[in-house]
A and B are shown apart, each in its own frame.
Chain A
Amino acid sequence: MTTPEENWRLLRELTAAFGPSGREDEARRLIAAAAAPYADETREDVLGDLIVTRRARGAADGRRIMVCAHMDEIGVMVTHIDENGFIRFSPVGGFQAARLEGQRLRFQSGLTAVLVRQHPGAGQDSAAPPRFYLDAGLSPAALSEAGVGVGDMAVSAVEMTETAGTVSGKALDNRVGCFILLETLRRVQSRHDLYFVFSAQEEVGARGAKTAAFALAPDLAYIVDATIADDIPRNPVVRLRLGGGPAVKVMDRSVIIAPARREAVAALARSAGIPFQWEIIDQGGTDAGPVQLSRGGVPVAGLAVPTRYIHTPAETAAKADILLARDLLVRCLEADMD
C-alpha cells in the first residue's frame, strides 16, 4: 500500500507542533483541524485531552471503542531566570539534559535557546551531578519581550528528516501515534462508536488518558504509542527492531494485556499478512495503565511503533512500521466484537 507524499508532510507538521505536557494547545489545534473532516464531534476536556467522536457506520452494534494516542511531548519548564538572562529549568517528563547538551530548544513564542552544561566552578566537586541551563543570548528584559518567563516551557527545536524508509526527529513519541489515529480516522468504516482520544500529559504520568477513559467508559480501548526499538550496535538481546512491523503490546510497567486481547490483535495481523513483534518493556508506563484501571476496568490492547533513541531529538522510526500499524488498527476497529 502506498501513501501519498502529503501524508508524510502531516507527520512532519505533527512532530513540529509545540506540545509539552500541559501545554498541548498548538498540537491539539493542528490535530483537531486534521480530524475535522472525518469527525462527528470534537471536544476537549479539563486536562486538555482532545476527544474526536466517529459514530458507527452501517448497522451499529452499540459498542464503544476508545482509541488513544498521547499528543504531548517531553520538554522543560523555566523555573528561574538570573540577572544575566541565563535560564534554569525543570524537566517535563523524561527529558534528559545530559543527552541534549549543545542542542537548541524552542519556546512556544518561537524563541530558541541552547542547552549548556554549567561549569562546575573552581574547586567544586567534579563528581557532583552536572547541572544545565539555557542560553538564549538575551537579557531578562529582552527575554520577557520575546515572550519567555518563569513557567513557560520549551521543547527540542529540530525538524523531522526523512529517508526513503525512515523518519527521524523530535516528538515521534508520540506524534507518530497521533498520525496513525488521524490516518485511521479517514479510512475506518466501523459498526462501533469510535472515540479517538489525543491524550494530554502522558509523559508526566498518563494523566489525561485517565480522565478521558473515565468520561468515555468504553467497552474496549486501543492504545497507540511509540515504543523502544533496541536494534542498536552491541546490544546482545534485541527485543524490537525497525522494519519488523508494529509492536503488539504484551506488557509495560503500567499494564499487562489480557492474553486473549493481544491474541485477537495478533490474529487480525496474521490474517491480513501484517508482520508484527511482541512488545515487552520493563521500563516506562503508558496510557494503557490508567485506562485499564478506569471505573470497573476496561479491556485494553496496545499497538506501538518501534522507535530508536526515544526521548531524544533523533527519534527514528520505519515508515513501513507506521503504515502497517495504521492498517492493523483499521482492522482492529472494523472487526466484530466478542
Chain B
Amino acid sequence: MPIENERLLETLSSLDGVAGQEKTVGEAIAARLREIGLQPETDRMGNITARREPAAGGSPFHALLCAHMDEVGLLITEITADGYLKFSPAGGIDNAVLPAKWVRIGGELPGVVGIKAIHLQKMDERKKLPETDAFYIDIGAASREEAEKQVKLGDMACLVGGWHELGADLVMGKALDDRAGCALLLELLAAEQPCRLTGVFTAQEEIGLRGAQVLANRIQADLVVVLEATAAADVLETEAEETVTCLGRGPVCSLMDAGTIYPPELIKLITDCARTAEIPLQYRRGAAGANDAGALQTAGAGQRVITLSLPCRYIHTMRSVASRTDYANWKKLVINLLERLSSPEESARFSRETSGKDAGKQ
C-alpha cells in the first residue's frame, strides 16, 4: 500500500533538524502549510501552529494534533588543537551507532565520526564500546584555527541518511521519528476535517518535551492526539514479551509510558474505532520513554491525551525503517477517530465542558 504523499515524507525525513535547531524543518513545514492555504504561526520555542476550522455544519469539538519536528543529533562542545570536534549528544543516541558515520554540520559541512582503525585497537578496545568523550568529528581541518572558520561551539551535527526502499513494503529514512508524524499531520491539515483541528509541529521533544511545555500554556483542547514514531523491536534475539511494537501490525496505541498513563476510556474508543473500520491496531507493550503527551496532559487544569504511533525499527539512528501499510493504516485510524469524536454523542463525552471544570471558581 503506497503512502499517498511519500515525496513529502522523504523530503521532511531528509532535512536536518536536531533539537533546538529545527529551523530548516520548520520552514519546509510552514511553506507547505501556506501552500494548503493555512497561516502558520511560530512561537518563541519554535513550535509551529496551524488551525483548520471544519466545513459549515462541522462539529465544534477541538482536537489538538501534534508531531515533533526535532530529531536526535550531536552538539559541538569543543574544537581540539588538531581541528577535531568533540560533541555531546542532543537526545538519546546509542554510542554503537556513531563510529565512522557521516554527519552534516549546520545543514551543509560534511564530517565523519572518527574511530581508531581496527589495526590500531588493542585487544580490550575491540571488545567494548567507547564512551562518548572518546569520539570526535573529523571535518578535515588541520588545526583549531582552520576548524573555527567553519564551525562554532553549539553547532549541531546531524547524522546523514538517505531515503531507500526496503523490500516491497518498507521504507528507510533518516528521521522518521518524528517526520512521519509531521507528514501525517500535514496530510490531515490539507484535507477537510469534521471538527476543529489545531496542528502543532513541536520543537525540542527529544531533549525533554520542551516545546510542548510552552505550547501547553498557550493552547488547550478537548483532546490532544500525539502522532509519534515509536520503537519496533521485532528484531533478532528479542523475545515476544520484549517486542514493544512490530512492523506491519498496524498503528500503535500507547497504554502507559514514563510521562503518561493514558485514559482507559480513550484506549477503548480507539480500539473500537480500529475494530469497526477493520484497521489493524497494536498496543505499545513497554512503558519506557516519554513524549509530548506528558507535558500536555498536566498543563493547566489538565487535558485528555492519547498517543498514536507509527512503529519504526532502528529508531534514533539515521536508518529508521517503517512500513507503508502501517502508515496508511495510521492515517485511516486518525481520520476515523476524528470522525467518531465529531459525532454529537462522543463529542459530548469527551469535550472539556464535561470534565475538568474549575472547581474553585463557581
A interface residues, Cβ below 8 angstroms from B: 21-23, 41, 43-47, 51, 53, 64, 77, 79-80, 82, 88, 90-92, 150-151, 195, 201, 204, 207, 210-212, 214-218, 290
Contact = CB atoms under 8 A, between A and B. Distances in A.
B283 A92 contact: no
B359 A195 contact: yes
Interface in B289-336: 297-298, 300-304
Nearest to B360: A216
Given A45-B302, A64-B360, 17 more contacts: A22-B256, A41-B362, A43-B357, A45-B301, A45-B356, A45-B357, A47-B302, A53-B359, A77-B256, A80-B285, A82-B241, A90-B287, A210-B298, A210-B302, A211-B298, A214-B302, A215-B356
Contact of A80 (B241, B298, B300): B241
Interface string B251-265: 000011000011110
24 contacts: A22-B264, A23-B264, A41-B359, A43-B357, A43-B359, A45-B302, A45-B355, A45-B356, A46-B352, A47-B297, A47-B302, A64-B360, A77-B287, A91-B287, A151-B255, A201-B261, A210-B302, A211-B300, A211-B301, A214-B300, A214-B302, A215-B356, A216-B358, A218-B360
Contacts of A79: 241, 255, 285-287
A36 to B, nearest CB: 16
B301 A46 contact: yes
Of the four ranges (under 10, 10 to 19, 20 to 34, 35 or more), the interface on chain B belongs to 20 to 34
Contact of A22 (B261, B352, B362): B261
A60 to B, nearest CB: 14
A195 B261 contact: no
B348 to A, nearest CB: 15
A215 B303 CA distance: 12
Interface of B: 240-241, 255-256, 261-264, 267, 283, 285-287, 297-298, 300-304, 352, 355-360, 362
Given A43-B357, A216-B359, A82 B285 contact: no
B360 A217 contact: yes
Contact of B356 (A46, A64, A195, A207): A46
Main secondary structure of the interface of A (DSSP, over half): mixed
Contact of A82 (B240, B267, B283, B357): B240
Nearest to A133: B241
A215 B362 CA distance: 11
Given A47-B297, A77-B255, A150 B285 contact: yes
Contacts of A43: 357, 359
A45 B261 contact: no
A184 to B, nearest CB: 18
A35 to B, nearest CB: 14
B296 to A, nearest CB: 11
A205 B218 CA distance: 23
Contacts of B304: 46
B256 A215 contact: no
Contacts of B256: 22, 77, 90, 92, 151
Contact of A214 (B255, B264, B285, B301): B301
Contacts of A77: 255-256, 287
Contact of B297 (A64, A91, A151, A207): A207
A290 B301 CA distance: 13
Closest 5 CB pairs of A and B: A22-B261, A211-B302, A90-B287, A46-B302, A46-B356
B301 A151 contact: no
A91 B359 CA distance: 32
